[in-house]
Amino acid sequence: MAEPFEVNDETWQELVLNSDTPVMVDFWAEWCGPCKMIAPAVHDMAVDYDGQMKVAKLDVDNSPNTAMQYGVRSIPAL
């Protein structure tokens, strides 16, 4: 069973951009209530679309550079 996996500024290129499989990224933060609300749906997408896409999670507090590069100004963002 597929699970969402963590990415950060250092692993972004390797795990997301270089992936042979499409990757949906959940930009989130620990303090974000709405992020916690959608977390079960994000997990379900990883399971339901296993083999068709991967689901990654990027904590914007720990990896602000990637979030800024992609114009993430509010979270949650997919």
Catalytic residues: 32, 35
66 in Cβ contact with 58 (< 8 Å): yes
Q: What gap in Å lies between CA 19 and CA 38, rounded to an integer? A: 24
Q: How far apart are CA 33 and CA 3, in angstroms?
A: 21
